[in-house]
Structure 1
Amino acid sequence: MRRFKSLHFAMLALGSVCLNSAYASSEGLQSLSDSEMSAATGQALMSLSYISPTDSANLMRNISGSNNIGFYKLGLEAELELNANIKNLQLGCGGQNGVGGCDIDIKNLALSGLPNGGNYDINGNAVPNGGYDIDGNPAYSGDGRAATSAKISNPFLEFAIKNPNSASTREVVGFRASAEKINALLTAGLTNNASPSTTDGIQSLSGFMRFSPTTGEVTTTPGLFGKTNDQRLSGKLNALGFDRDWVSDPASSDTLGISIPSVTAGFSTPAFQVNGKRQTAARIDNVMASVDIPLDQGPNNQLKVDFDCILFVACKAKIKLKEGSRIEGLPLNVSFEQSLSMIHNIPLTGTGGYLSLQLQDLLWPGNYIDGADIGKTSLSNFTQASDIARAGWWMSFADPVNLGLLKGQNPVDVSAVYPQVATKASAFLNQESQRVYAPPGAALGTLFGITMTTPNPIIIDLSDAAPATLSLSNVQLKNQVPKSNCYGTLTFC
């Protein structure tokens, strides 16, 4: 600490001598009087600051066993511009956090200015000079991305010193490089692949990154419903004057199933985060969607059903759904896991961030602390919502990142939800108010193997039902196409 104080005093003394004696001009150094000195103002290029272990700004001050750490900060009061490409960033490989992996492993990392050439914003909304294309991909004007630079405001270096007041026991337990604000586009990877990559993009990330709530849409693959036992339907019918219950027979050769067409489903994602050591994927829970499913389209539209028999006859029938039949408002609760190697574009719009190395878990000054963790005295009791820089290398961003409108590039298979749809649809169709009344002629025709078409479209309203649950993973997103940070045709430079 004594060396830090000596350096500080030396810089102050040197500055005082220079300011009190002269100023620079084209003719050389000129003397200043006391009145001229008093009228002069200025700002230092560099700043030094110290947060003691008991300072209110020290987030470690109440942490049991770790409350004797001070923070020394050397800052540059300036705005820097940077345009950079890093072919292979690997930090903390092996070592403290175990062999066979790296704390941070990112292939083809690029940093530049934010997009400036599109007519849409990051969410795909048409706006003048939005910087993005209609799918939310970065777009650049003029000479492209390589002609722009990231703007880094007030960068600084900071050291975490244990026992700062003891010359014999003081110890450096952490170091970080940071900035107060960063306006930039950070990209990881060269190609927006349809599946996770082991040679491109983010392979491993130890750090803390929050993502803002957003919206998106996907299309579903066509499917066939009602051909397996877990997709059995049931309901109520009145035929030939008798109230009867029916249940479909998936095993029958007369059950052709019901064609489910491809549909577009909009969804909304809550805020989510990546937080922890050597993370390889981001998990989002409670992604909510509502889906309407036509039931009268495609080549198949027939179920064989069993009835309560009438005098031991009319026990079976083939039923077709009338045109206009559909499922309305099916609520979905989706759990979504995305490989980090498939997340390429990370816009930083004024957020701070840091890259650090620490011997022990630390709360650096200014780290994000969730409200539920305020006042806790043990880092082991903190929730996953707080930014604790874990031992080893750590990358963190202060403010949530907006990933924009998340459009699926290819249709996704949702057939895993069909059994839940069958259960919910059957519960709806078994309501007395949903009983189907069959015309006498159609009902009699079933005795001779004629397929009966329901007299009216079957509208299955599931908007008030509990959400069906679905798990998806690694959906290729349209707005994650990375832009090259090179001139000409080069993809990486």
Structure 2
Amino acid sequence: MRRFKSLHFAMLALGSVCLNSAYASSEGLQSLSDSEMSATTGQALMSLSYIAPTDSANLEKLRNSSSNVGFYKLGLEAKVELNANIKNLQLGCGGANGVGGCDIDIKNLSLSGLNDGTETGSSNPNEGSPTFSNGRASTSAELTNPFMEFAIKNPDSASTREFVGLRLSAEKISGLLTAGIANSSTASTTDGIQSLSGYMQIAGTTGDVWTQATTFGKSSSNCMPQTSAPTACQSIAGKLNVALFGRRDFVSLPADGNTSGISIPSMNVGFTLNPFTVNGKRQTKAVAPNVTATIPEIAIARVTGCSESAACNDLYRNDQLAVSLRDPNNLASEDCVLWICTAKFKMGAGSKLTDLNIDITFQQSLSMIHNIPLKGTGGYLSLQKEALQWPGANADDVAQSGWWMSFAEPVQLGYLKASQQVDISNVLPQVATFVTQQLYASSPIDVNLIDALGAAVNQPITKTLVIPVSNNRATLMLENQQLKNQSIPSNCYGGNQFC
């Protein structure tokens, strides 16, 4: 059963013992008639409420049937405005956490009103960092009905009653919380969120990155390509239909010293970030699995815009693969085409891979997540002796022993655009496997007599190939990306970075 107590009851009790009611004025107390009193309304500044262990609203009892914890809440029925800077917020340090270990460790924490200016940094407003029309320091966060809540075990027994938790929160919070003063390109040990025990949902969003230009099919050693599970090999294999010789297999030689592989240009890749949750004790990073991306086309021919002139000869000569015409399972075999055991292979103009699907694990140090807009129902800061589910918390938000910081609403990070180019070299061996699978599943590549004779005098065999790889999914780890929309607006006057 839930029982409510408030100052209303005190006022009612006081009125019941008076024969004549009164109100205060500049002339002193004035009497009120019954009709005047019935027309008068008001609101208490403070409120008290209680959720018993057996109450249906007691989430802790629903979570743990053996729990016998009641919750007492003391609330302020008001809207409070707050602008604050905290240089170093450290809670729950040492003790069970060890020397230097903290439940919560945040450097340069600021709370202000929500940004009201045009976001800067991109033509897409969702990519930009928050700005303020009159400066951030002139704004304040709004806390509607802030309260303190106490968790009491065995509340109905004076001999075994025990205080097991304290929570600070508000019914609604509107503001911008930032952690750190610099949006650096690497994780920091002196700025931002260093350790977080708590619960923070990250809303689903989208973004894009630019990849680094790289080279495919070139490595320090020859290896056998795979048609099943990807390995670290960048070799590809497939089928040829050679004039006069019929069906032959080929395999590329990544370690051949006379070629430099196939150039892969820098590309813009869009991705989708599904909602995920940061939930646990002393966390230092956020890990988002199942980020999905598709690259519609990967150009694998360097001939675009370059004619067969002297200036381009080296590009043409080097941007190719060395391939063996021996049995891929026996590279020492002398079963060659005429006297040709190896040849040069070059992708013709328009060659490309299509529809490469990538599953990305996005791992970001918490020190590189700076802007946390707070909207809607409020979060809370709590301290508990044992695991507790506080009233109104999300089903998976169970505060663990020690200090706990929770954000009720999903944090909207906005459009995620990385400032740095991403290295995709770890994807290339997987792509080699996909290409090999597709080449063996497709018709053999025709090599006519002219191609064969050209190969005999060390001329590259040039073929335009369009290779679909949509039936496969590559995996990639993205870690500690500097995000353009995470620049931190100062919460100070006078141009100070932190005050």
Q: TM-score, normalised by structure 2?
A: 0.87
CA RMSD of aligned residues (A): 2.4
- Worse overlay, 236-245 or 332-341: 236-245
Structure 1 residue 313: Cα displacement: 2.8
Whole-angstrom CA distance in 2 between matches of 1:311 and 1:197: 59
Q: Aligned equivalents of 1:288 and 1:180: distance in 2? A: 36
- Any idea what the Cα deviations from partners look like across 1:37-79, whole Å, max 9, x if unmatched? 1111222221110000100000122455752111000111111
Contact 1:161 1:171 in 2 (8 A): yes
5+ long unaligned stretches in structure 1:
127-132, 370-385
Instruction: Describe the SS at the equivalent of 1:117.
Output: coil
Per the alignment, residue 238 of structure 1 pairs with 241
Counterpart CA distance in 1 for 2:19 and 2:294 is 69
Q: Secondary structure at the match of 2:433?
A: helix
Q: Give 1:440's aligned residue.
A: 449
Q: Distance in 1 between matches of 2:369 and 2:437?
A: 40
Letter in 2 for 1:362: L
Alignment of 1:72-87 (within 5 A): 72-87=72-87
- Count of residue correspondences: 461
Change (3 A) 1:48 1:125: farther
Amino acid at match of 2:489: K
Q: 1:486 to 1:119 in 2, by over 3 A?
A: closer
3-state SS in 2 of match to 1:192 = coil
Residue type at the aligned position of 2:476: L
Task: In structure 1, give the amino acid aligned to 2:456.
Answer: L
Taking the aligned partners of 1:312 and 1:263, their CA distance within structure 2 comes to 41
Tell me what 1:489 maps to: 495
Q: Closer, same or farther in 2 for the Cα pair 1:50/1:217, shift >3 Å?
A: same
Contact 1:60 1:66 in 2 (8 A): no
- Cα gap change, 1:481 to 1:20, in 2 (>3 Å): farther
The partner residue of 1:356 within 358, 378, 382 is 382
Q: Distance in 2 between matches of 1:6 and 1:233?
A: 76
Q: Structure 1 vs Structure 2: percent identity of aligned residues?
A: 60
Distance 2:360 2:278 in 1: 18
Shift, 1:218, TM fit: 0.8
User: Could you tell me whether the CA contact under 8 Å between 1:254 and 1:302 is conserved in 2?
Assistant: no
Deviation at 1:211, TM superposition (A): 0.8
From 423, 426, 431, the equivalent of 1:416 is 426
**Aligned partners of 2:419, 2:337: CA distance in 1, in Å?**
56
Quote the Cα distance in structure 1 between the aligned partners of 2:39 and 2:123: 51
Distance 2:372 2:256 in 1: 53
CA distance in 2, matches of 1:17, 1:482: 59
Task: Flag structure 2 segments of 5+ consecutive residues without an equivalent.
Answer: 224-232, 304-314, 327-334
Q: For residues 483 and 75 of structure 1, what CA distance do their matches in structure 2 show?
A: 32
Report the residue type matching 2:475 in the other structure. T
1 CA distance for matches of 2:497 and 2:16?
A: 51
Shift of 1:26: 5.0
Tell me which amino acid in the other structure corresponds to 1:343. Answer: I
Report the equivalent of 2:309.
Answer: none
Structure 1 residue 15, shift from structure 2 partner: 7.3
Residue from 435, 438, 459 that aligns with 1:450: 459
Q: Alpha-carbon deviations, 1:188-242, whole Å to 9, x = none?
A: 0000011111110000000011111111111111111101231001112223242
Change (3 A) 1:6 1:409: closer
Name the aligned partner's letter for residue 479 of structure 1. N
2:413 is aligned to 403
Q: In structure 2, how many angstroms separate the alpha carbons of the residues matched to 1:195 and 1:16?
A: 67
Contact kept, 8 Å, 1:97 with 1:392, in 2: the verdict is no
Query: Mean Cα displacement is larger for which, 147-156 or 64-73?
Result: 64-73
Distance 1:15 1:337 in 2: 62
Which residue of structure 2 aligns with residue 129 of structure 1? none
